[in-house]
Amino acid sequence: MQPKVSMNIALKGHLYTDEFDLAEACKKGIPLAQNILYRTYAPKMLTLCFRYVGNAEDAQEILGDAFVDAFRKCASFQYLGTGSLKAWLTRIAVNRCLMFLRRKSMNFEDLSEDYGAYMETSATVMDEINAKELMNLIHELPAGYRTVFNLFVFEDMPHKEIASVLGISENTSKTQLHKARQLLQHKIRINRKDIL
């Protein structure tokens, strides 16, 4: 039976506070639970979609499609502990983004330009950057670089899986990531110089 609780109370966390309860309620198709799930995770997912596609309109459309997918495939979700619901939703959203990028025929070009060696612990450069600046710089990357960079850095996906998901070789994935990092650092340095 659908709980008769006002939306405000529910959204303040008096209902379905637990990920497991929320997922179970969504499996039963309870609209209130679906609403809470959407409101809880949609903002983060929107950022994710935007990071991949670099366009606000496309990102919103992909977000909607991803949640429709999630609500339809709710029965297949298995609770494996705290954070598993977010991880599951993230995976659905990423898949949607990759589908979108495939339609746009993303290519994994290799820019011949050399931006110097990438330094693993270049925290000094990264420390001063803010989220918006980082997002803008990521969007300036070519689609192939950007996708591999997103999957490796933000989704914590190993090269083997990236290669499988994108239909490329592991070496291509590694090269693309390396080049993406080089280019990103190069752009950050240029930005710093401009600011200073």
Partner 1 sequence: MNNLPSDQRLRALMDEADPAMFVPGFDLDQSWEQTRRQIAHPSRSLQLLRIGSYAAVFVVGFLLAVLCLPDKEQPVSTTGKMVKQQPKATVADVPHKVATVATARKSVRPVQSVPSPASRRVPATSLASPVPGPVLIKEEAVVAVADGPEVTPSAPEVMAETLPVRHYFDLPETAPLPVEATVVVRKSKSLRGWLTRRREAPYVQTREALPLKGVFYALNQ
**Which C-beta is closer to partner 1: that of 63 or that of 101?**
63
Q: At its nearest, how many Å lie between partner 1 and the CB of residue 50?
A: 5
Distances (CA, A) of 141 to 15, 169, 182: 42, 20, 11
- Cβ 74 to partner 1 shortest distance, Å: 10
Cα(158)–Cα(80) distance, integer angstroms = 21
CA–CA separation, 91 vs 111, rounded Å?
A: 29
Q: Which residues contact partner 1 by CB under 8 A?
A: 31, 34-35, 38-39, 42-44, 46-47, 50-51, 56, 59-60, 63-64, 67-68, 71-72, 120-123, 126-127, 129-132, 134-135, 153-154
Which one, 71 or 79, has the nearer CB to partner 1? 71
By C-beta, is 3 or 31 nearer to partner 1? 31
Q: How far is the CB of 168 from partner 1 (least distance, A)?
A: 21
CB-nearer residue toward partner 1: 59 or 183: 59
